[in-house]
A and B are shown apart, each in its own frame.
Chain A
Amino acid sequence: MTQTTDITLKLAEFEARIARGEKIEPGDWMPDDYRKQLIRMISQHAHSEIVGMLPEGNYITRAPSLRRKMVLIAKVQDEAGHGQYLYHAAETLGISRDELEQALLAGKAKYSSIFNYPTLNWADIGMIGWLVDGAAIKNQTMLAHCSYGPYSRAMVRICAEETFHQRQGKEMIVKYAQGTPNQRQMTQDSLNRWWWPVLMMFGPHDSDSPNSEVLIRWGVKTQSNDTVRQLFLDEVVPELMAIGLQIPDPQLRYDAESKHWKHGPIDWAHFWQVVKGNGPMNKERLATRNQAHDNGAWVRDAVTAYAERK
């Protein structure tokens, strides 16, 4: 048997397994592209959790009640935990956490662009919980069904915790949107800034998403970007309107025929600028991560030296 037909057979068997709904596990044969795509997605996801600690962490010292302070610290801690868990999932594909971290610090690895926006008021903490985590849950619920076992299982666990995050964020926004004039103003300002970046979190339109088709065939993604974005829109638009917030999209409308909410055009030129590193906080986020890493170098050296001596 030639090598080519051998691979063709293996690929056919691999795709048949996925079609039967089986999970692919770390030791199993998989096409190089599948491995690469998964490393790309899991690392991007892990890095998003790590960088995602920063916008919310910015308000830990200012949380306005003991309960809010406790919940916010716990939430950011969960994100660190998710990052750790996802790095482990990536390691099952033959890449080390150190390599992944180095790629992030060098600015070579991607993470969700949503974390390249600043947190400017306290309502942002609620908005991130409700909309950003809410959007993430939509993606992650889909990924919990993905074909790669370790990633799929990580998603089940992470989604459970994210659901709490989303609930506490929503509780804040619902309260503030109906609170004092100051709170209402803060909440509307927050929605104005986060709305469009959140819609962009689902990625480019299906027609412009180069990776989507093969990812769906291999069960890495099980729904397209636009499908998941629509699910999100249909869920949050009526809820935001019900508490009296104005969604900053003059073209937003309900389409009675399809029974879906339709948004106006998304500024993809802006999206790609942020992806390419020119968003409002890209440089600062990376600098902050590098600073934490550099400041910790002597600590890690001490840990190694101590361990070697014992």
Chain B
Amino acid sequence: MNAKLTSTLDARLLALADDELILAHRDSEWTGHAPMLEEDIALANLAQDELGHATLWYDILCDLRGQPDEHADQLVYFRDAADWRNAQLLELPIGDWAFTMLRQFLFDQFEWVLLPTLTKSSHVAVAQAAAKVLREEIYHTRHSTAWVRRLGQGTAESHRRMQAALDAQWPLASQLFTPMPGDAALVAAGIWPDMTPLHQQWRAKVSDMLAECDLIAPASLANHDSRANHTQHLAALLADMQSVARLDPQADW
């Protein structure tokens, strides 16, 4: 792989790993505070899965950079907000249950269109990781889809809360598909899919569900900010997440 391809794949892997890590972190905040005991268990499970996926992608990234696997901890605990590449949607605070479930649904659907194409990647490690993640995503998709239905079609209040969550999240969700410099070469090498048709597939799938629940996607402009741009919530999240590790950077925790 030439240097240009390597650096573009690096950026793609980092974006995906950061997405999973930040979502895992947000989901884990529900543990002990969910609306019912079964969902304490479910969200803890989701968080562990997403954390596992993040670790998989970070490990491939570390291999690509010729660094040992332990470097994943360095990336997570000693990197400042400006260097993170997760989509803004994922760093927003957990909000209410509707907010969390809708975000999970939008992200699960993103993975649901992305992963099958990644399993065919010419980069073997990426293809294998995608296959592994896809197996777990079946359950995530089932869980978040069921919740969008229940809340979207439950009571007037649950519908109102879902609509509010959608109004806030819809413009940000597009950022998941924002093209990155050098994408064309990765697509040509069969390493990463073209995100534009995936975005259309995603929109079609998501729109069907929204229609079923009588939820209306706002007409507001899609956010195509670079993934280098963040809300103020990311720095706060990182300050908390990295606080113990940074107490004693030399220590083995």
| Chain A interface residues (CB < 8 Å from chain B) | 50, 53-54, 57, 59-66, 68-70, 73-74, 76-77, 80-81, 83-84, 87, 122, 175, 179-180, 182-183, 288, 291-292, 295-303, 305-306, 309
Contact = CB atoms under 8 A, between A and B. Distances in A.
A61 B28 contact: yes
A15 B157 CA distance: 55
Given A60-B31, A297-B35, 20 more contacts: A50-B37, A57-B31, A61-B237, A65-B77, A66-B55, A66-B72, A66-B73, A70-B48, A76-B44, A77-B41, A80-B41, A84-B37, A84-B41, A87-B37, A179-B251, A299-B35, A302-B158, A303-B154, A306-B150, A306-B154
A180 B250 contact: yes
Nearest to B154: A302
A300 to B, nearest CB: 6
A283 to B, nearest CB: 17
Most A CB atoms within 10 A — which of B32, B34, B37, B72?
Answer: B32
B159 to A, nearest CB: 8
B29 interface: yes
Interface string B47-63: 11001101100100000
Interface in B100-119: none
A296 B37 contact: no
A83 B32 CA distance: 11
A292 B240 contact: no
Contacts of A292: 32-35
A64 B44 contact: no
Interface string B1-42: 000000000000000000000000100110111111110110
B241 to A, nearest CB: 6
A302 B245 contact: no
Nearest to A175: B252
Contacts of B77: 64-65
Nearest to A59: B244
Contact of A64 (B40, B45, B149, B244): B244
Interface string B209-253: 000000000000000000000000000010011011101101111
Given A57-B31, A77-B48, A182 B251 contact: yes
A122 B244 contact: yes
30 contacts: A53-B40, A60-B28, A61-B28, A61-B237, A62-B240, A66-B72, A68-B253, A70-B48, A70-B51, A70-B52, A70-B55, A77-B41, A77-B45, A87-B37, A122-B244, A180-B248, A180-B250, A182-B251, A288-B33, A292-B34, A295-B33, A296-B35, A296-B97, A298-B155, A299-B36, A299-B158, A301-B158, A302-B157, A305-B158, A306-B149
B157 A295 contact: no
Contacts of A303: 150, 154
Most B CB atoms within 10 A — which of A73, A74, A81, A305?
Answer: A73
Contact of B157 (A122, A180, A298): A298
B76 interface: yes
B149 to A, nearest CB: 7
